[in-house]
Every structure is written in structure tokens, then in C-alpha cells.
């Protein structure tokens, strides 16, 4: 992408702060920000970029190499389409890429598949979390454990007190966290189809099950998400039934361990120096700005995740 990547950022809310913190340490310049609800641009390395209320105005005035869309989920589809149409830049959209499958079809119809694969990326940041990378490595080292025969993952966020604002930014607990669970699980298994489940508590909670394939065997993933909690807690357990091994990964603590019965087989700890979101987004951006971004950022994974998230369980 060149030595100095010119970045434009649309949406200067909560997650934009992490993007800005990570970008500040990379060889990039922040050309512009866009946010209709913000009067002043954020300070970036001691200076302020040009600021706009509308992405179209910013893209008319600038030639960015990368446009980052960090706006409420339901605005992603339109803003991504606008960025792809009005500039030749790469586009990094926050997750989920879009809020409904018809928006995927719209993006496909305006760009051929090669163009989308080369230009459009989704910030599936949980797939870059250090405990996920550790689990992937330890599983690769132990083919004798056989396939992952069951997965249980529970993601809780304390958003219930944010009320309507949480729904406005994130749509629902499942739309917000299901994408994190599914894109993270794509590191370990091939996701196949929804098998049961639904949303409850007016969209504040969900329980879904999915089939997947791993090392030639089909297993079940059980996914719980909820905003009905006082604090954030995110954990995943991968069960290797044939070997009696379990791999526990704690995404909140960024830790993990593997055990068989009463034997501790492997552990992963964290030095506590890097805040969780920075620990996700730093490797994500390093991959995005490289010649070959990780496929988990690509359109094919985003499409699989969006379609699975919206699939209707069989009756």
C-alpha cells in the first residue's frame, strides 16, 4: 500500500479511539475524519485532520489509500458502497460488514468479485486476539488430539444500561457478538450451517447452534451472547472428545489453558501491558497494510459470517 498510507476515518465514536491509537504508531497519515455529530476532529499525533460531516464531501476533496468505516452497524452498507464507488482506496469496515444479506448482494452487484476481494476488508478483530493465536498454535502442534468435537462460546457485554443507544450502534447482542464468535471460530473450523436457536430478551440475548467441520468430522458449536450483565466476560471452550482434551480461552483476560482430566497440558498468560482492543487491532492493521492481508479480513469470510448470522434455523 506504499510507504505512507493516507487514511480517512468515518465515524469517530468509541471504537474509533482504538483505531486512532493503533494508527498513530503505524506509517500512516490521517487525511480526514467524518462524523455528523462531532464539531471538532480528534487530535492525531498532535495535529488535527480535515473534518467533514459527510463522507462524500471528504472523498471529493481527498485521495486516501485506506478508508475506515467505524460508524453504527446499520450505516456500514451505504458508506462502504460510497467509499468503493467514489475512490480507488482499500476500505476497512467495522464488523459486522453489513446488517443484512441483501446488502451483500448489493455490494457484489456494484463490484466484481476480484475487486471486492482486493479492496474490501472487515475488522474481524477477535480473530487477531492473542489467546486465539495461542490456541491455534497449540492445536496445530497436537494433531493427535483429533478433531474439535464440540465448541461452547459465551460473550457477555454490559450494554443493557446503554438502552436504545446500544441498539442504535450495534443492532442487537447477536449482531454485535455473533460476528466476533463466528469470525474467531473460522480460525479453528469450517463453519457449515445453523442448526437451532434464536434471539431473546428483545434482542439483548441469543442462543444459536451451528454445525462445523474439523479434521474430517462434523461437530456442534453452541453460542451464547447477552447484554444482561454488569461486566464484560467472553470465553470459548474447544472440546477434543476423542482425546479427552479441552482448550479454554478467556477472551476478556486474554489467557488460555489446555487440560486432559486432572493434567494441565499447556497454558497461555498475558503480560498485562497491552489493552485488549489494541492487542486485537494492532496485528489486524499490520496484516491489512501488508501485501497479503489475512483471509479472515476478506470478503469471503465476511459473507459467510453475515449469511450464517442471518440464517433461519431449520424447523
Ligand X SMILES: NC(=O)c1ccc[n+]([C@@H]2O[C@H](COP(=O)([O-])OP(=O)(O)OC[C@H]3O[C@@H](n4cnc5c(N)ncnc54)[C@H](O)[C@@H]3O)[C@@H](O)[C@H]2O)c1
Chain residues in the site for ligand X (CB under 6 A): 10-16, 34-37, 55, 70-73, 75, 79, 94-95, 169-170, 176
Q: How far is the CB of 147 from ligand X (least distance, A)?
A: 30
Residue nearest to ligand X (CB): 13
Upstream peptide bond of 60 is cis (omega within 30 degrees of 0): no
Cβ burial, residue 161 (10 Å; 0-12/13-18/19+)? exposed
Which H or E element spans position 226? strand 217-226
Closest contact distance (angstroms) between CB of 139 and ligand X is 25
Smallest distance from the beta carbon of 40 to ligand X, in angstroms?
12
* Shortest Å, Cβ 39 to ligand X: 11
In the complex, what is the shortest distance from the CB of residue 263 to ligand X, in angstroms, rounded to a whole number? 36
User: In terms of CB distance, is 94 or 303 closer to ligand X?
Assistant: 94
Minimum gap (Å) between residue 282 Cβ and ligand X = 14
Residue 30 or 214 with smaller CB distance to ligand X: 30
CA–CA separation, 229 and 192 (whole Å)? 30
Residue 15 vs 20, nearer CB to ligand X: 15
Is the CB of 35 or the CB of 246 nearer to ligand X? 35
Instruction: Tell me whether residue 18 or residue 149 sits nearer to ligand X (CB atom).
Output: 18
Residue 199 makes CB contacts below 8 A (sequence gap 6+) with 172, 173, 174, 205, 206
Task: With H, G, I as helix, E, B as strand and everything else as coil, classify residue 233.
Answer: strand
Buried-state track 165-179, b at ≥16 Cβ within 10 A, e below 16: ebbebbbbbbbbbbb
* Residue among 37 and 292 whose Cβ is closer to ligand X: 37
Over its C-alpha atoms, the chain yields an Rg (Å, rounded) of: 20
Give phi and psi for 270, each to the nearest 5. -135, 140
Taking the complex as a whole, the smallest distance from the CB of residue 78 to ligand X amounts, in Å, to 8
Tell me how far apart the alpha carbons of residues 36 and 54 are, in angstroms, rounded to a whole number: 7
Distance CA 180, CA 283 (A): 16
The Cα–Cα gap between 94 and 71 comes to: 8
CB nearer to ligand X: pick between 159 and 248: 159
Looking at the Cβ atoms of 170 and 257, the one nearer to ligand X is 170
Distance CA 49, CA 243 (A): 55
Distance CA 288, CA 156 (A): 28
Q: How far is the CB of 5 from ligand X (least distance, A)?
A: 20
Amino acid at each position: 500500500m506504499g510507504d505512507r498510507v493516507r487514511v480517512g476515518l468515518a465515524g469517530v465514536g468509541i471504537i474509533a479511539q482504538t483505531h486512532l491509537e493503533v494508527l498513530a504508531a503505524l506509517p500512516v497519515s490521517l487525511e480526514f475524519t467524518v462524523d455528523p455529530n462531532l464539531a471538532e476532529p480528534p487530535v492525531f499525533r498532535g495535529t488535527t485532520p480535515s473534518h467533514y460531516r459527510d463522507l462524500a464531501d471528504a472523498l471529493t476533496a481527498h485521495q486516501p489509500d485506506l478508508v475506515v468505516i467505524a460508524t453504527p452497524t446499520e450505516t456500514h452498507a451505504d458508506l462502504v458502497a460510497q467509499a468503493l464507488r467514489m475512490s480507488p482506496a482499500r476500505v476497512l469496515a467495522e464488523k459486522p460488514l453489513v446488517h443484512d444479506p441483501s446488502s451483500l448482494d448489493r455490494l457484489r452487484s456494484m463490484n466484481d468479485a476480484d475487486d471486492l476481494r482486493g479492496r474490501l476488508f472487515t475488522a474481524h478483530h477477535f480473530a487477531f486476539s492473542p489467546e486465539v493465536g495461542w490456541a491455534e498454535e497449540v492445536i496445530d502442534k497436537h494433531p493427535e488430539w483429533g478433531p474439535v468435537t464440540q465448541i461452547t462460546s459465551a460473550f457477555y457485554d454490559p450494554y443493557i444500561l446503554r438502552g436504545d443507544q446500544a441498539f442504535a450502534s450495534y443492532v442487537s447482542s447477536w449482531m454485535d457478538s455473533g460476528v466476533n464468535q463466528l469470525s474467531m471460530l473460522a480460525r479453528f473450523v469450517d463453519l457449515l450451517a445453523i442448526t437451532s436457536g434464536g434471539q431473546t430478551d428483545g434482542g439483548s440475548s441469543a442462543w444459536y447452534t451451528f454445525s462445523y467441520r474439523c479434521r474430517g468430522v462434523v461437530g456442534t458449536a453452541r453460542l451464547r451472547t447477552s447484554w444482561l450483565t454488569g461486566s464484560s466476560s467472553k470465553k470459548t471452550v474447544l472440546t477434543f472428545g476423542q482425546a479427552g482434551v479441552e482448550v479454554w480461552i478467556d477472551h476478556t483476560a486474554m489467557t488460555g489453558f489446555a487440560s486432559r482430566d486432572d493434567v494441565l497440558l499447556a497454558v497461555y498468560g498475558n503480560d498485562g501491558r497491552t489493552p485488549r482492543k489494541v492487542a486485537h487491532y494492532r496485528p489486524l492493521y499490520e496484516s491489512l497494510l501488508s501485501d497479503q492481508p489475512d483471509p479472515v479480513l476478506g470478503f469471503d469470510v465476511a459473507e459467510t459470517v453475515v449469511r450464517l448470522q442471518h440464517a433461519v434455523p431449520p424447523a
